[in-house]
Amino acid sequence: MEAIIASICVSVAVIFVALRLQNKAPGVELHDEYKEVKKSVIKENKIKNLVLGCMISVILAYIITGSAFFVLLSIPGGLVVAQWLNNRKDNAKRKLLDTQYIQILSSLLTAMQSGSSPYQALEEIATGLPSPSKEIWIEMLTRARTSDDPKNRYENAIRSVAKDTGWKNLYYIEMAYSVYGKVGGNLVDVFQYLLKSAYEAHSDKKYVQAIVSTNKMSALIISCLPFFFMAMSRLVAPEYAAPLFNTTGGKIVVIVVLIMVVIGNKMVEKMLNNVVQNST
């Protein structure tokens, strides 16, 4: 009976993951980047991640314990897995945009050095940008062309898009154009400085991320060890591991271990996040 239930759970999970990958469009669509996105789309993605997270939690709980009690207890763990999936997607977009910010600065600098005006450069580089920065840039140009303030239309458009997308690097470009519009100056020198700073910041981030990733992996391995040994004990010596999952005392021990692992991971995550924030 247990084998049948496990097979059903695994089959459903595989089908769900396959459908999710099949329906995923290539690249990053514009509706994924803006607050104007339909709430139904955001809600649908969160529900999919929640369902997938619950399935993963249930399957892992069954593999480790084989107990219906822990399988039911693991269902709320889907929230944690869903949050991890959402954060992973957001972090991937953020890292991609940070890399493409350097390309934007290089393209603006090249365009202005070729004789284009600062405002013409904004228009000219749009077609050569990769996704998702291309969609963001096109949205910025659209807002600039439909602005009610022709004098500051580009500055306002860049600022509003930066606010809506959370792409903080755009504020540096907005500040450069804002100063240029008010007092003039040589934007080529400004963008050369911004480009140099962007390269240095990107290099520092890569170094910090490498160190943080190593520590996160170490914490993950240590966190998985207790549950790995539980699963191996249940598979290799079921009679020996049975009291751990079928008696009150054993269940309390498993719950205490789980709580301690969660608290430890939260502490490690908080310390690593502080390191990342202090380095940026």
Q: Which residues contact 179 (CB under 8 A, 6 or more apart)?
A: 185, 190
Contact between residue 77 and residue 34 where contact means Cβ atoms under 8 Å apart: no
Report pLDDT for 276: 67
pLDDT score of 42 more than 80: no
Could you give the CA distance from residue 74 to residue 59 in angstroms, rounded to a whole number?
9
Could you give the CA distance from residue 199 to residue 35 in angstroms, rounded to a whole number?
29
Report pLDDT for 137: 92
pTM of this prediction?
Answer: 0.63
Q: Which whole number is the average pLDDT over 227-242?
A: 87
Characterise 27 by phi-psi region: left (phi > 0), alpha (psi -120 to 50), beta (else): left
Of 278, 208, 164, the residue nearest 156 (C-alpha): 164
pLDDT-derived band at 207 (thresholds 50, 70, 90) equals: confident
Q: Which whole number is the average pLDDT over 212-240?
A: 87
pLDDT score of 63 more than 70: yes
Residue whose token pair is 């160190």: 211
Contact between residue 139 and residue 37 where contact means Cβ atoms under 8 Å apart: no
pLDDT-derived band at 279 (thresholds 50, 70, 90) equals: low
In a domain, 1, yes or no: no
Q: The domain containing residue 133 runs over which residues?
A: 97-198
In a domain, 269, yes or no: no
Q: How many domains does the chain have?
A: 1
pLDDT score of 6 more than 80: no
Q: Measured in whole angstroms, how far is the alpha carbon of residue 203 from the centre of its chain? A: 20
Report pLDDT for 31: 37
Tens digit of each residue's pLDDT (9 = 90 or more) over 91-131: 788 888 888 999 999 999 999 988 888 889 998 898 888 88
pLDDT-derived band at 43 (thresholds 50, 70, 90) equals: low
Report pLDDT for 171: 92
In a domain, 54, yes or no: no
Contact between residue 245 and residue 65 where contact means Cβ atoms under 8 Å apart: yes
Could you give the CA distance from residue 261 to residue 253 in angstroms, rounded to a whole number?
12
